[in-house]
Amino acid sequence: MLIETTAGELRLALDKVKPAIRFGRSSIPILGCVLLADGGVTATDLDHEIMVKFAAMRFDGRVAIPFRPLSRLVRALPADTDIRLQDTERAKGRKSTDYGVYVTFTGGRYWLPSMPAEDFPEITPAGTWIKCKAPENFLQALDACQPFISTEETRYYLNGVCFTKHPDGRDVVVATDGHRMIAHDLAHGIKGDLILPRFVITSLLGLPTPTQIYRTDTRLELHMPGARLRTKLIDATYPDWPRVIPEIPDEAPEIRFNPRKMRAVLNRMEIGLSKYGECVDVCADPTGQTVVITAKTQDAEECSERLDGATAVNWSKMSHGLASFNSRYLKEICRTHIQSDEIILTAAGSGSPSRIGPQTGKMLTVLMPMRGGNGLGTQALMALSPASNDPATDQKEVA
């Protein structure tokens, strides 16, 4: 085996396959290795496999090398350093400890243990492959869905993104953790539902945009420039997610606001409270021209802030004139719609799921309510209305 490349090229390839490495103690030591073969580096955890090509002046043979020592070595070298990986007579011994590779560069030589390339596992295709073209916004859709994926082990079928169809026939990808949900338009052209695991999405977001998708009933293979990813699918039936989409009646309560301003308010509240409670109340005055966000901790710390530019319609129909949400979830939804200048939060009532998003767009997001009511809404609306900006009025309100 003889490979001649640069430290920078090999380091970039190793970084891209790192999500498929199984770290820690394992009954299968070779899962901590990468396979150098056929002009690229491959890693697998038996659930998914990533192969990335890298530029090399010479690439002959195959070898499996532990990821950590190889990665640490190339990261410690300047990117333009020419390196050579070559097996030696020492690697031809009969004991497993005799397998090894010399990594050499100007002024340095390291010997790293290796394992036989033929022992490296491979995710083999099963069934008939169906080919379809990957849409251009494939990675953007998965990135938007990632925060909505559940990490709960019991309902394992929620630990991924479902490629499915909207009831109106559109192709969509859906993710939910039971508290929030997203349905993102994506013309994936995949027939029949499939669930792509969460850990695969993390890997995909570090790779180029796929150009081709191949699938069977249990496997998915994605081809992209200079790389390939194979993975097992989650073998389960995804819940009937369209039932979660709330039906919004005419003249329903709604609030329109800028998602960047909402995120800024929620971030300040999180920093300003020593024991930040994740529940926030969204309140509006009868005119709909003043919207405030309030929060309160178990230690009775209080936080209230006006949401500038926000307007409300029919908000008095909400119970006690407020709606309560998980701050972290609301913040994530704002990040999802961060490119929009205005999004609309609307619901049938305080205890109903809320639809959040722009007037038109490719994403439908739903957020479940929380039990809130910290008692700060009325006072905050009075104190923070634009008319109360006079210092004398402020002093009176505080008194």
Statement: residue 399 has pLDDT above 60: no
pTM, whole model, 2 decimals? 0.84
Statement: residue 377 has pLDDT above 70: yes
Res. 122 pLDDT band, cuts 50 70 90: confident
Question: 389 or 382, which is more confident?
Answer: 382
Residue 192 has a pLDDT of: 80
| Tokens coding 194 | 């499939």
Query: What letter represents residue 346's amino acid?
Result: T
Statement: residue 36 has pLDDT above 70: yes
What mean pLDDT do residues 251-276 have? 88
Provide CB contacts within 8 A for 147, sequence distance 6+. Answer: 332, 335, 336
Provide CB contacts within 8 A for 258, sequence distance 6+. Answer: 309, 310, 341, 342, 343
Residue 90 has a pLDDT of: 53
Number of neighbours of residue 333 by Cβ within 10 angstroms: 27
Residue 160 has a pLDDT of: 95
Mean residue pLDDT across the chain? 88
What mean pLDDT do residues 69-78 have? 96
Residues 176-186: pLDDT tens digits?
999 999 999 99
Angstrom distances, CA of residue 139 to CA of 20, 186, 203, 207, 221: 18, 10, 11, 9, 15
The share of the chain scoring above pLDDT 90, in percent, equals: 64
CATH class of domain segment(s) 130-243: alpha beta
Statement: residue 333 has pLDDT above 50: yes
Statement: residue 94 has pLDDT above 50: no
Domain boundaries, the chain: 2-119, 130-243, 246-398
Phi and psi at residue 333, in whole multiples of 5°?
Answer: -65, -40
Res. 320 pLDDT band, cuts 50 70 90: confident
Domain range 246-398, CATH architecture: Roll (3.10)
Same fold, 2-119 and 246-398: yes
CATH topology of domain 2-119: DNA Polymerase III; Chain A, domain 2 (3.10.150)
Q: Which residues pair with 163 in a beta bridge?
A: 173, 194
Determine whether 132 is exposed, middle or buried from the number of CB atoms within 10 Å of its CB (0-12, 13-18, 19+).
middle
Residue 107 has a pLDDT of: 93
Provide CB contacts within 8 A for 352, sequence distance 6+. Answer: 246, 369
Question: Is 313 strand, coil or helix?
Answer: strand
Statement: residue 275 has pLDDT above 80: no
What mean pLDDT do residues 137-160 have? 93
The terminus-to-terminus CA distance of the chain in angstroms comes to: 81
